[in-house]
Amino acid sequence: GSIADNTSGQFYGYRASKAALNAVGKSMAIDLKERGIAVGLIHPGLVDTDMTAAFPPEIKIPATKSIEGIIGRIQALSMDNTGTFWNAATGEVIPW
């Protein structure tokens, strides 16, 4: 979903759908902030699944690590960081 983090091209429809999803999430974060509702945008990491079978194993993470990261990002979610896009596996903020 990050345009700045696209270094390999390809996957046009997939990338466009993720960017659109993040645009909606960011807009929701702005609209819902006054109601006290925080919105988290979370990239689960390159999880080892059937969909990622073509990627080298050394760059993938197990689903359990992704889930732990997602839970951590949800626990850290606040009104101060609503609308932020994170990598669940590393906790790093991903640039738009």
Give tens-digit pLDDT for 31-64.
999 999 999 999 998 999 999 999 999 999 999 9
Q: Pick the closest to residue 83 from 33, 43, 46 (CA basis).
A: 33
- Say if CB 54 and CB 8 are below 8 A apart: no
Q: Is the pTM value of this prediction over 0.85?
A: no
If phi over 0 gives left and psi between -120 and 50 gives alpha, with beta otherwise, what is residue 47?
Answer: beta
For residue 3, the SS3 value is coil
pLDDT attached to residue 1: 62
Provide the β-strand partners of residue 85: 41
Is residue 26 classed as helix, strand or coil in its secondary structure? helix
